[in-house]
Amino acid sequence: MEPDGGLLKLAQKRINKAPFKVEVLQMGAEQIILPDDSIDTVLSTWTLCTIPDIEAALAQARRVLKPGDN
């Protein structure tokens, strides 16, 4: 997920070279438009300090994670 179109464009070259499928959603983390329990892993790198509503973003991450050891 990335809300900034410019950063998505910058990342596109690496995404195209990935040896696996990469799906990027242009959206913020506060309202993830994915079904509940639909994601295996949530990874955040150097981004939490940029999210205006951190509590909402973390709640959304928890919501979309599949049940298990999370």
pTM confidence score? 0.79
Instruction: Specify whether the backbone of 46 is left (phi greater than 0), alpha (psi in -120 to 50) or beta.
Output: left
Give the pLDDT of the chain (70 residues) as one tens digit per residue: 999 999 999 999 999 999 999 988 999 999 999 999 999 988 888 888 889 999 999 999 999 999 986 5
Q: How far apart are CA 40 and CA 23, in angstroms?
A: 14
Q: How many CA atoms lie within 13 A of 1 on its CB side?
A: 20
Phi, psi of 17 (to 5 degrees): -90, -5
- Structure tokens belonging to residue 43: 């990874």
